[in-house]
Amino acid sequence: MDAGKIIVNEAEPQTIADGARTVSLGERNWAILQNGIKNILEVKEEEIEGAVRSLFNLANLKSEPTGGLALGAAIAHRQLFQGKRIICIVSGGNVDTEVFFRIVEQN
């Protein structure tokens, strides 16, 4: 966002959130985001996994790791949202069964 243009990475990021593994943002997404987003929050792998676990344990939702990104950010950066109403869009139940159960069975 700071660069004011699409940046192309040398390689895909290594993340469990396979829907976020891309070398660059698409033109269509960039056109939307550059005018409507205030900032971007980083979410660590363990925060993504924690969000997927919470969605399953507390709401009986099966989410793929990419679908847990928004909740992971809200939990990890909760101080930014205190006293505010927020919404997290959770998408995608298209998760590898082995990956999903490995995540939800962790403590």
Tens of pLDDT, residues 55-65: 999 999 999 99
Looking at per-residue pLDDT, the higher value among 98 and 93 belongs to 98
Q: Report the half-sphere exposure of 39 (CA within 13 A, side-chain side).
A: 5
pLDDT tens digits, 8-29:
999 999 999 998 999 998 999 8
- 93 Cβ contact partners less than 8 Å away, ≥ 6 residues apart: 62, 63, 64, 67
- pTM of the predicted protein model: 0.87
**pLDDT above 90 (res 107):** no
